[in-house]
């Protein structure tokens, strides 16, 4: 009887250790929670929102990503341009490789504007050699275009600095959502 209880105890201990180990791996390596700091991604994300970084999968156009700059600070921005793209804004309208793109995630802010445009005129041809986003880099912008330190200022973001995409905002609970 004692041997059976001892085996049962060890199986519970083993299950608990395995569960803790899996939780640590998932928490620190797969789906990492991040605190949003600042207003550059409003209205999509607000300061003190909490999001989860997905470290796996491809980065696609319009994904929201987290990257780390040389100063160690983490930034959250939206991918607009992929390697080889040209990016241009004219009269608040986005053009990638000459093709017009809608940005529905900006509609709320655009409706509230009383003066000017949300996104100033911009062309990657004026900033980048050959006008194209270099290989293994991304052109990123904050959704709050008037208050964002992004690729218009710091240049394209190397893939090596990208920590992952942020598909989910989970806190505050009333604002929990899939990020589009």
Residue 24 in any domain: the answer is: no
Residue 106 in any domain: the answer is: yes
- 151 annotated active-site: no
Record the pTM: 0.80
Q: pLDDT: is 62 or 169 the higher one?
A: 62
Residue 121 in any domain: the answer is: yes
Q: Which long-range contacts (CB under 8 A, 24 or more apart) does 29-35 make?
A: 29/55, 30/54, 30/55, 30/56, 31/55, 32/163, 32/164, 33/170, 34/66, 34/74, 34/76, 34/166
Residue 21 in any domain: the answer is: no
In this prediction, residue 162 carries a pLDDT of 92
- Tell me the mean pLDDT in the region 1-27: 76
Residue 25 in any domain: the answer is: no
Could you tell me the pLDDT band of residue 30, with boundaries at 50, 70 and 90? low
Residue 3 in any domain: the answer is: no
Q: Which of 2, 7, 40, 100 is catalytic?
A: 40
Q: Which of 4, 7, 47, 77 is catalytic?
A: 77
Looking at the 3D structure of the chain, how many domains does it have?
A: 1
Give the CATH number for residue 132: 2.10.109.10
pLDDT at 4 over 80: no
- 77 annotated active-site: yes
Residues 6+ apart with CB under 8 A from 24: none
Q: Write out the residue range of the structural domain in which residue 84 sits.
A: 32-179
Residue 16 in any domain: the answer is: no
How far is the C-alpha of 39 from the C-alpha of 45, rounded, in Å?
A: 8
- Tell me the mean pLDDT in the region 138-157: 90
pLDDT at 39 over 70: yes
Could you tell me the pLDDT band of residue 139, with boundaries at 50, 70 and 90? very high
pLDDT digits (tens, 9 = 90+) for 82-122: 999 999 999 889 999 999 999 998 888 888 888 888 888 89
Please give the share of the chain, as a percent, with pLDDT higher than 90: 28
Residue 156 in any domain: the answer is: yes
In this prediction, residue 60 carries a pLDDT of 92
């Amino acid at each position: 009887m004692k041997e059976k209880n001892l085996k049962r105890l060890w199986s519970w201990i083993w299950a608990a250790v395995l569960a803790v180990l899996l939780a640590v791996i998932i928490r620190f390596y797969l789906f990492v929670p991040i605190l949003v700091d600042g207003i550059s991604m409003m209205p999509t994300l607000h300061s003190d929102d909490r999001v989860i970084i997905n470290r796996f999968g491809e980065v696609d156009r319009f994904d929201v990503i987290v990257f780390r700059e040389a100063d160690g600070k983490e930034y959250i921005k939206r991918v607009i341009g992929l390697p080889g793209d040209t990016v241009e804004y004219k009269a608040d309208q986005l053009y990638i490789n000459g093709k017009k793109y809608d940005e529905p995630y900006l509609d709320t802010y655009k409706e509230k504007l009383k003066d000017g445009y949300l996104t100033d005129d911009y062309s990657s041809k004026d900033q980048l050699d050959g006008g194209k986003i270099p290989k293994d880099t991304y052109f990123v912008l904050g959704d709050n275009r008037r208050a964002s330190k992004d690729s218009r200022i710091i240049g394209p973001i190397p893939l090596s600095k990208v920590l992952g995409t942020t598909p989910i905002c989970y806190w505050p609970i009333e604002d929990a959502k899939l990020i589009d």
